[in-house]
A and B are shown apart, each in its own frame.
Chain A
């Protein structure tokens, strides 16, 4: 049972390069999310998609774009990477949005370093 799968697991980028983090879930969840985790900062929401065809900004969206390709897949793109985007990125999904009892399930993380 794969759950939430994200690729790549590790990536080193040069400043100004672009890249896309891929995420797929096999739980038939409606909502998907991208978080970043920085030391001492907890998890912060970058973008989310409440359902297929919709995306919305979270707490820290600057420098990122997202695409909800279909119900299963939600990608995160860095158009021009900056050292401040060095972080661990987590994709997550949940059955529904904004409902009491909603539990979010996370992928294993993608470690991104921008030099």
Chain B
């Protein structure tokens, strides 16, 4: 059973517009959420994170929103740029132990069109 879900395998956005990537989770024990960006033939790189005590975290063009009651988070990229074209993975972890590392979603392929 998937605990972290990214229901959109791909998303196409025009350059300059806002990109919104969505992620849902089912495990109530998750208390830390991250977004990773991955280019082809490279490893995932950390983009932005949010703790469950917050509902928003901003870093330049990237903002992550967390809705704990809905078990939903989203990544907003404004404005979208060609270099943002990549696969974005949502990930979650719990500080209470259990299976370690991060639990990842299947990824969303973001395509920025000129």
- A contact set with B: CB distance below 8 Å: 4, 31, 33, 35, 40-45, 48, 50, 56, 58-59, 90, 92, 97-109
Contacts and interface: CB of A to CB of B under 8 A. Distances in A.
Nearest to B96: A98
Contacts, number: 75
B105 A4 contact: no
A99 to B, nearest CB: 6
B59 interface: no
Contacts of A43: 44, 89, 91, 102, 104
Nearest to A32: B101
Size class of the B contact interface (CB-based, 8 Å): 20 to 34
Contact of B31 (A35, A44, A100, A103): A100
Interface of B: 4, 9, 31-32, 34, 36, 41-46, 49, 51-52, 89, 91, 93-97, 99-107
A93 to B, nearest CB: 11
Contacts of B97: 98
